[in-house]
Amino acid sequence: MAESFGVHPERYDRARPSYPDALVQRIVVASPGPDVLDVGCGTGIEARQFQAAGCTVLGVEPDARMAEFARRRGLEVEIATFEAWEPAGRMFDAVIVGQSWHWVDPVAGAAKAAHVLRPGGWLAVFGHVFEPPREVADAFAAVYRRVVPDSPFARPSGRSALDVYQEGFTKFAEGIREVSGFGDPEQWRFDWERPYTREQWLDLLPTTGGLTRLAPDRLAEVLNAVGAAVDAIGGGFTMHYTTLATAAARTRG
């Protein structure tokens, strides 16, 4: 699945949301300098935000298709998994990770981050949790269970997406604590909203993990059902997003 997101990098970059400015500024202000390493940079969504905030950003990305797109948008990218990437003595003031730390070994990744961070630099792992309206979420769940009944994404967990993600970010913090060289991890939360038209939401859905590998006919069935649900509530809606982050500072000395 990790390699499936690069099938349509243009759509991914167009449809995926950016990150709250408050998150970017918090990392920039806390870091000792402007040199940023973006792990699993994808198409460069968060990297461009940090560039706009005055940072110099190097991306590391295992998918060559995503990396090439990011390069066309002005980001320097090296193709590798973070665990295998060779820093060649380079040091950074912040290591940022947007929506991709779950593809990295949490302990080995934290150790690599500690190795390349200057004293006082920050490792910041962050990602979005989204909650569409109940009518849209229910329509998606029903059609997905019908179209892909064997998928783990089709099994209801009885838990909210926010609870699941918060648990994941707590585990990220536990991985950081296993590595020497960091202060105690902090948990940050940013709540915000974004309006979506029917077309915008159906553009984003195929970039999500449960849909990136679906056959075209099955994907069309999912999108038609979700589109009908959005039409039934007026052709658009406002999405509530929660952006979670686990962040820790490299200790000095």
Predicted confidence (pLDDT) per residue in 159-170, tens digit: 888 999 999 999
pLDDT of residue 90: 98
Dmax of the chain from CA atoms? 60
Buried-exposed string 5-29: b where 16+ CB fall within 10 A, e elsewhere:
bbebbeebbebbeebbeebbebbbe
Q: What does the pLDDT look like over 184-193, one tens digit per residue?
A: 999 999 999 9
The ranges assigned to domains in the chain are 5-132+159-195+240-249
- The pLDDT tens digits for 24-72 are 999 999 999 999 999 999 999 999 999 999 999 999 999 999 999 999 9
201 vs 154, 192, 216, CA distance in Å?
Answer: 20, 17, 17
List, for residues 82-135, the tens digit of each pLDDT value.
999 999 999 999 999 999 999 899 999 999 999 999 999 999 999 999 989 999
Per CATH, the architecture of 5-132+159-195+240-249 is what? 3-Layer(aba) Sandwich (3.40)
Mean residue pLDDT across the chain:
93
Give the pLDDT band (50/70/90) at residue 8. confident
The pLDDT value given to residue 155:
56
In angstroms, rounded to a whole number, what is the distance separating the alpha carbons of residues 148 and 168? 25
Q: Classify burial at 129, counting beta carbons within 10 Å of its beta carbon; exposed 0-12, middle 13-18, buried 19 or more.
A: buried
The helix or strand, by DSSP H or E, that contains position 35, with its residue range, turns out to be: strand 35-39
Token reading at 187: 């948990």
